[in-house]
């Protein structure tokens, strides 16, 4: 049996999306900037898709800027605001649990002379609003806080966060790559200035995303060439990808079904396997996310044994799962390194079935027992980490 529970990394492209995309590879393949009929057909599809996506977050169509994906959207938001508002200030505020697509550009900007503040989070992954208020200064130009965390699934109250930023006259950006279409988002009501999203997390194609940029936001573009995307991002638009993205937005998300299976998985693991801990908030979490720490077990070993049984999971963010360092998110919420290393992320989708969950739990119990029987920590052996031990136990 093959079970895919790594939908936080990427998702299966739905059949409906594939059918919507195909004509724009073979029949309507024009460049949306061209003036002839082929170009007009592509332009029509582009703007229709832009409108569908804008409606999902209550934005105006012209506020949607298509990109190559979530990472580009995050980079454009962080660097675009930083370079476009240098006359106002040089201070950016973010959190210790952001995706690397936020942490990376923040690090680069720090090396260029910008000041970056990283907010702490509590044991469930929530930022402290009082700390945010305290850290905002007259030099602060941007606050960026992830909406639904890609590792532990915690969903921040971005409406409250954005309200603080608006009152202080500071731009607010949220990375909504994991939460887009899973959580209700109204950019006008929530006072969001910038928002990143990606197609391949919602059963759309890879290589396409968008950055919502509220009208009036002063942002510097990062790519130069033609005057595409309201002169915010140069490059011929990926029409098949954009059409597929819009179609994915229109799919029945089956959120109640996913949430029910998520809670069923959590309940069974906690009931049937000892010494486990759910990471992230129990209630305010993404409907498809289950992140569990298994004491006395090494996560990579658990992942590989599950893979041998046809079950695909992750040890954390897909972008960093090959790293031997413990997850920065799990460390930020207070986990010991050995517990962080023993954590597994299960992420479900609209295609996940109860039969798959039952099979996963059955095999998971076997693998955890197998690994614990071999574990030096379970046996009480005083194992000291030697120099060069990348796991740092």
Neighbour count for residue 386 (Cβ, 10 Å): 7
- Strand 289-294 with 276-279, pairing: antiparallel
* Rounded Cα–Cα distance for residues 341 and 346 (Å): 15
Question: Which tokens sit at 168?
Answer: 């202080």
Residue 271: DSSP 8-state: H
Backbone phi, then psi, for 264, in 5-degree steps? -65, -45
Cα-Cα-Cα-Cα dihedral sign, residues 310, 315, 321, 322: negative
| Whether the Cβ atoms of residue 122 and residue 151 lie closer than 8 Å to each other | no
Given the residues 234, 318, 319, 331, the one annotated as active site: 319
CB count, 10 Å around CB of 18?
Answer: 12
Question: How many helices and strands in the chain, by DSSP H and E?
Answer: 14, 12
Could you confirm whether 106 is annotated as catalytic? no
Angle separating helix axes 255-272 and 354-374, nearest 10 degrees:
30
43's tokens: 């332009």
| Cα–Cα nearest to 101, from 74, 128, 77 | 74
With b for 16 or more beta-carbon neighbours within 10 A and e for fewer, the 137-173 pattern comes to eeebbbbbbbbbbbbbbbbbebeebbebbeeeebbbb
- What count of Cα atoms within 13 Å lies in the side-chain half-sphere of residue 383? 14
Handedness of CA 53, 59, 60, 62 (dihedral sign): negative
Q: For residue 248, which of 7, 9, 5, 21 has the smallest C-alpha distance?
A: 21
Shortest CA distance to 334 belongs to which of 72, 64, 67, 97?
Answer: 97
Radius of gyration of the chain (CA): 22
Q: Which two tokens stand for residue 232?
A: 């915010």
Residues with a known catalytic role: 319
């Amino acid at each position: 049996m093959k079970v895919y529970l790594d939908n936080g990394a990427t998702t299966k492209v739905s059949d409906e999306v594939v059918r919507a995309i195909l004509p724009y590879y073979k029949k309507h393949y024009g460049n949306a900037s061209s003036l002839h009929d082929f170009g007009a057909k592509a332009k029509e599809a582009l703007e229709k898709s832009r409108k569908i996506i804008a409606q999902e977050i209550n934005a105006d169509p012209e506020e949607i800027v298509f990109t190559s994906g979530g990472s580009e959207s995050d980079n454009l938001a962080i660097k675009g605001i930083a370079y476009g508002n240098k006359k106002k200030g040089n201070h950016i505020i973010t959190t210790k649990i952001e995706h690397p697509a936020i942490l990376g550009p923040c690090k680069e900007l720090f090396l260029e002379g910008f000041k970056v503040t990283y907010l702490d989070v509590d044991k469930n992954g929530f930022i402290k609003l009082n700390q945010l208020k305290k850290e905002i200064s007259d030099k602060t130009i941007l606050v960026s806080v992830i909406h639904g965390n890609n590792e532990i699934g915690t969903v921040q109250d971005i409406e409250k966060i954005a309200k603080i930023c608006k009152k202080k006259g500071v731009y607010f950006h949220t990375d909504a790559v994991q939460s887009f279409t899973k959580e209700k988002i109204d950019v006008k009501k929530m006072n969001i200035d910038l928002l990143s999203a990606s197609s391949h997390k919602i059963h759309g194609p890879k290589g396409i995303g968008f950055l919502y940029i509220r009208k009036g936001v002063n942002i510097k573009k990062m790519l130069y060439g033609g005057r595409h995307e309201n002169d915010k991002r140069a490059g011929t638009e990926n029409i098949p990808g954009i059409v597929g993205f819009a179609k994915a937005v229109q799919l029945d998300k089956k959120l109640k079904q996913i949430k029910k299976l998520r809670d069923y998985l959590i309940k069974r693991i906690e009931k049937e396997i000892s010494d486990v801990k759910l990471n992230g908030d129990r209630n305010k979490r993404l409907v498809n996310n289950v992140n569990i720490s298994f004491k006395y077990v090494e996560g990579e070993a658990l992942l590989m044994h599950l893979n041998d049984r046809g079950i695909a999971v992750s040890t954390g963010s897909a972008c960093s799962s090959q790293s031997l360092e413990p997850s920065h998110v799990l460390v930020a919420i207070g986990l010991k390194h050995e517990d962080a290393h023993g954590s597994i992320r299960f992420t479900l989708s609209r295609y996940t079935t109860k039969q798959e969950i039952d099979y996963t739990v059955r095999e998971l119990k076997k693998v955890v027992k197998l690994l614990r029987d071999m574990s030096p920590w379970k046996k009480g052996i005083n194992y000291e980490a030697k120099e060069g031990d990348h796991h740092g136990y």
